[in-house]
Structure 1
């Protein structure tokens, strides 16, 4: 009796290749781990500047040379090999080639950034070419994958369609359309892209009921094909199992922090994260505990920058732009509470990570956050600085509340563990494969 063939899923590496980690990169990486644990065959498709005709060893070397690095130039010399390859792809569609990752290159430095995979694929300048093609023609770029997968899962709204397979797209949120003043996206192009994805996708995946509702509100025809799988958080057992006294020593020696004696915000510093109100509320709270901010300036953040600098001058705010994952998890575990009163979130990964580590969470009533945090967090009005301030004061002074949240947080976080996520993914892909191609 023959065994059932493994489901074959390909993911894009658009965000995975970026030099700084993003929430979407974390989503794609976690998705890859989930699929591998389900014994699915997993391809990951990148769009790095690797000539398709380069010998296999050179492709491997160039892959690790460019992965997570700032590209020196995206321009292609007129009539040069790169220009011709882009022009050919623009007309005929792209064709991916494999990157043989077979240990010639020592890749241990990338262990935290690489997804789980059976096969790495690359199509030279895929994402640059696709965006340019879409802006000019409003058509999706086609790509042919060797040994086509059962499902091509685009983890971000991209104007690309793989041939001879089901194409599904994750739309995490509609922030550029719901809160247009908080992003730099071209709103006309974004609305067109979302509209075209709804028209052409075999299915749409999203990460909360709030996001699913937004998608359907903006595109009612999406109702039949939009599925909420939520997302998962990889367990940080290495950090969770470290004795408390070691956490205390490490935080003190490496970062001059005292466990339980600081508040924490981590994530990008941009308008939708509500950093300005958070800092105003924190400074007004008069807590003696400092606020640690882990994140770099993103866009439209001039006001946030000024407030941040003021807090630093007062000695009440400590900023760190980037931390390795294990260090970040230790800082989360050691915090008095994580403060995350965001204006909107597709899912809200930081609050789930905090709850998983047993750290109290202050967050807002907006978008997905109530359904993700449940009753395990302290909810505030994101648009009311006084509400945020009062929430900080409660967490600062109420040890009983903090202890209760440390117990309830991990219970709530388990609703988004890998086992529940894999059940949702299996149901999603099963539904996709039952539908006819569009």
Structure 2
């Protein structure tokens, strides 16, 4: 690792990498994809990575990278209002805030990645209750600062870029689309039944998979309703939900019981990456009926593993799946159920979806994502 700021002949770019911690995170996966490739693409640039103390190992071992451990939360008040007081940024030429909010009091240009604008357009989809009201004020403030003041905005889909332009026309010219990628770890993996058994999944049971945190916009209730309509007469198939479960996630099991699915809906949390890959590889389908997504990492992860995808026909999901998935309205469980049943009962269709999914996933990679961000960095630095 090079000495920090040695020589000061390089431009110095700081990337806030604190979302990479001890549990899976969509934003964490995006940041990891960026820092895995951008230092090698820009050997003439020095990168400073802000690191979460819960991350015990280096984020990157490239010679042009320095890491600084910052204990304050990536999405907390210190980051929002006092980050320059929490960490010395005096020698930074450009700051990249990759998690929707733009910190205040930055002396250098800032690139902010806005994954979606749900906190502005549909805050009830993000989180409900008192905590939801607090988060709405917090994220709305940080996003609006980025829309107004960021030197550049990157976003992960054309759908999100269109929403940004609709909300803030003045931000449209500063917005650049850098589609997310998928790690090479996500690929067909034979012989993974032992991992499934360790999760309590017997090989005699087929299953449909739903992956994502338990938040209203993920529409997990809709997934259960669609599954019930599609599979009521298919008792050998279950629905597995992999999620970071909130306190009210058990309500999903109550709904499942009301729909006659006793014992056929399972909730898994804290799933290791290798276990998640095994789940994708052996699932009959991924059911992903979100109301909105900035991108939707599980869509591409599933396709890369050869798992057919049934998803929503709104927001970024048709764009991300690129014709490889079956789609339906997330507001219509019956329509979703019809598409899911087609996938489960038509082997030729399912195989076609797998092959198209492989092809689509192959076109989305983190190196291109990093190269897109590097182009934005250079544009901003040239205009600074």
TM superposition score category, shorter chain reference: 0.7 to 0.9
Q: Residues 365 and 257 (structure 1 numbering): CA distance in 2 closer, same or farther, change over 3 Å?
A: same
- Structure 2 counterpart of 1:16: 20
What is the rounded CA distance, in whole Å, between the counterparts of 1:203 and 1:14 in structure 2? 21
2:345 to 397, 405, 413: 397
Q: How does 1:286-301 map to 2 (within 5 A)?
A: 286=232, 287-288=234-235, 289-298=237-246
Pick the structure with greater CA Rg. 1
Give the match for residue 230 of structure 1: 179
Question: Hey, what does 1:180 align to over in structure 2?
Answer: 123
Task: Note the aligned Cα RMSD (angstroms).
Answer: 2.9
In structure 2, how many angstroms separate the alpha carbons of the residues matched to 1:397 and 1:193? 46
C-alpha separation between the residues in 1 aligned to 2:74 and 2:357?
Answer: 39
* Distance in 1 of aligned mates of 2:166 and 2:180: 22
Q: 1:38 matched to which residue of 2? A: 41
Q: Is the Cα–Cα contact under 8 Å of residues 260 and 334 in structure 1 kept in the other structure?
A: no
Q: Which residue of 2 aligns with 1:76?
A: none
Query: 2:112 is matched with which residue: 156, 159, 169?
Result: 169
Distance 1:225 1:280 in 2: 41
1:362 to 2:316 alignment: no
Where in structure 2 are there 5+ consecutive unaligned residues? Answer: 1-8
Runs of 4+, deviation exceeding 6 Å: none
- Structure 1 residue corresponding to 2:336, chosen from 384, 388, 398: 388
How far apart are residue 318 of structure 1 and its match? 2.1
> Which shifted more, 33-42 or 268-277?
33-42
Deviation at 1:332, TM superposition (A): 0.5
Q: Whole-Å Cα distance in 2 between the matches of residues 328 and 312 of structure 1?
A: 27
Map of 1:116 onto structure 2: 60
Distance in 2 separating the partners of 1:297 and 1:160 = 28
Residue in structure 2 matched with residue 190 of structure 1 by the alignment: 139
Aligned partner of 1:413 in structure 2 is 361
CA displacement at 1:250 relative to structure 2: 4.2
Shift of 1:27: 1.3
Shift of residue 404, structure 1, vs aligned partner: 0.5
Distance of aligned partners of 1:42 and 1:115 in 2 relative to their CA distance in 1, 3 Å threshold: same
Residue 267 of structure 1, CA deviation: 1.2
User: Please, which moves more after superposition, 158-167 or 427-436?
Assistant: 158-167
- Partner Cα separation in structure 1 for residue 145 and residue 314 of structure 2: 27
CA contact (8 A) 1:280 1:385 kept: yes
Matches within 5 A, 1:175-324: 175-182=118-125, 183=127, 184-186=132-134, 187-236=136-185, 240=188, 242=189, 244=190, 246-252=191-197, 255-258=200-203, 261-285=206-230, 286=232, 287-288=234-235, 289-298=237-246, 303-304=251-252, 306-308=254-256, 314-324=262-272
1:432 lines up with 2:380 in the alignment:
yes
Output the CA distance in 2 between the equivalents of 1:312 and 1:7. Answer: 61
Secondary structure of 2:115's aligned partner: coil
Which structure 1 segments of 5+ residues have no match?
49-62, 69-106
Q: 1:268 to 1:310 in 2, by over 3 A?
A: farther
CA contact (8 A) 2:114 2:155 kept: yes
After superposition, give the CA deviation of every residue in 1:113-148 in whole Å (9 maximum; x if it has no partner): x632532213453758x72696xxxx6653563673
